[in-house]
Amino acid sequence: VVQVREKKGPLRAAIPYMPFPVAVICLFLNTFVPGLGTFVSAFTVLCGARTDLPDRHMCCVFWLNIAAALIQILTAIVMVGWIMSIFWGMDMVILASKYS
């Protein structure tokens, strides 16, 4: 039996496991306003949402999500941030479907 495990960087591992409807709303927000859904998802960490960074304090994970949102907003001008924002939202929905 072969098992494949994806190694995530700190920004990617900071994506919170949210309830499915919240993740869909964040995807919708990220699609039309890059970084807004990621910004909203940062506050779900403060409300107790689980992440793949169990050894980090919730404030650190919150600021990692805020940093990801700022990166998405600042690079949206050259389309990179917009594409990153949409993929970020899709990851939120995938994690939420696994969480349910």
DSSP-assigned states of every residue in 31-79: HHSTTHHHHHHHHHHHTT-B-S-TTS-HHHHHHHHHHHHHHHHHTGGGT
Whole-prediction pTM:
0.87
pLDDT at residue number 75? 94
What is the mean pLDDT, run by run of 10 residues, along the chain of 100 residues? 83 92 96 94 92 88 94 93 94 89
The residue ranges of every structural domain in the chain are: 12-99
Q: What is the sign, positive or negative, of the torsion defined by CA atoms of 4, 95, 45, 33?
A: positive
Per-residue model confidence (pLDDT) at position 100: 67
Please tell me the predicted confidence (pLDDT) of residue 21.
95
What's the confidence (pLDDT) of residue 3? 84
